[in-house]
């Protein structure tokens, strides 16, 4: 997990934000006995969110984001549990897709297989340089997009596991370990296994 710097889950759909009151989130999603909850406010988008330990939840009209503020085993498991509670408590929400995003940051001099492969990519067009590349692969129950941004001497590599409605709910992994499972897949790709 040393190169992971960001993990979030996006649930795209038509959400009723009015359901997400502090008391409902505290009792139902966070399963708190007391109605004490840490609320977050994003003044740029006029959105309200909620925080439990190292995980934040941001409900919007067209999405609900579960964001891991700190990357550790406890927050990774809690993120999976929150996703499952959300889907179980609001099963009639019209969902479009669920995305799990795991972002890594690598120096371009690191001696690991994915960095070696990225260093070999050279695509130039006149005075233009490559600043982003995207690879996609259809998996059994989802699509995996690997989007790499070139930032000076760094590569920001985003593994986006995209689950559309064609695989939901019967093909979706409802395990609380969903993020751990996705991380295992990313590690195999990074190490070229």
Select the more confidently predicted residue: 40 or 110. Answer: 110
Q: How many CB atoms lie within 10 A of CB 168?
A: 16
pLDDT at 61: 92
| DSSP state letter for 166 | G
Q: Is 76 helix (H, G, I), strand (E, B) or coil?
A: helix
Select the more confidently predicted residue: 11 or 129. Answer: 11
Packing angle, helices 178-190 and 73-89, rounded to 10? 130
Select the more confidently predicted residue: 1 or 86. Answer: 86
163-189 average pLDDT score: 79
Paired tokens of 127: 């005075």
Paired tokens of 35: 């109605």
39-46 average pLDDT score: 73
Name the least confident of 50-59, 73-82, 119-128, 144-153.
Answer: 119-128
Paired tokens of 179: 């993020």
Asked whether residue 128 carries a pLDDT value surpassing 80, the answer given is: yes
Containing 13, the helix (H) or strand (E) segment is strand 4-13
Q: Is 117 helix (H, G, I), strand (E, B) or coil?
A: helix
Given a contact cutoff of 8 angstroms between Cβ atoms, the answer to whether 75 and 54 are in contact is yes
Percent of the chain with pLDDT over 90: 66
pLDDT at 109: 94
149-172 average pLDDT score: 82
Select the more confidently predicted residue: 182 or 46. Answer: 182
pLDDT at 171: 56
Q: How many CB atoms lie within 10 A of CB 149?
A: 14
Given a contact cutoff of 8 angstroms between Cβ atoms, the answer to whether 103 and 158 are in contact is yes
pLDDT at 169: 60
Tens-digit pLDDT profile for residues 15-39: 999 999 999 999 999 999 877 788 8
d(CA 40, CA 1): 26
């Amino acid at each position: 997990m040393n190169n992971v710097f960001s993990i979030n889950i996006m649930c795209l759909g038509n959400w009723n934000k009015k359901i997400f009151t502090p008391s409902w989130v505290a009792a139902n999603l966070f399963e708190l006995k007391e109605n004490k909850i840490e609320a977050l406010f994003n003044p740029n988008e006029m959105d309200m969110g909620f925080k439990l330990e190292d995980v934040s939840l941001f409900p919007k009209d067209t999405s609900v984001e579960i964001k891991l503020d700190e990357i550790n085993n406890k927050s990774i498991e809690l993120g999976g549990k929150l996703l499952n509670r959300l889907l179980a408590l609001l099963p009639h929400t019209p969902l479009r897709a669920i995305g799990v995003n795991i972002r890594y940051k690598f120096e371009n001099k690191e001696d690991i297989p994915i960095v070696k492969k990225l260093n070999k990519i050279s695509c130039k067009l006149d005075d233009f340089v490559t600043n982003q590349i995207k690879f996609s692969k259809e998996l059994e129950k989802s699509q995996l997009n690997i989007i790499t941004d070139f930032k000076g001497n760094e590569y920001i590599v985003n593994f986006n596991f995209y689950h559309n409605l064609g695989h939901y709910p019967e093909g979706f992994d409802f395990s609380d370990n969903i993020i751990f499972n996705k991380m295992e897949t990313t590690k195999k790709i990074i190490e070229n296994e």
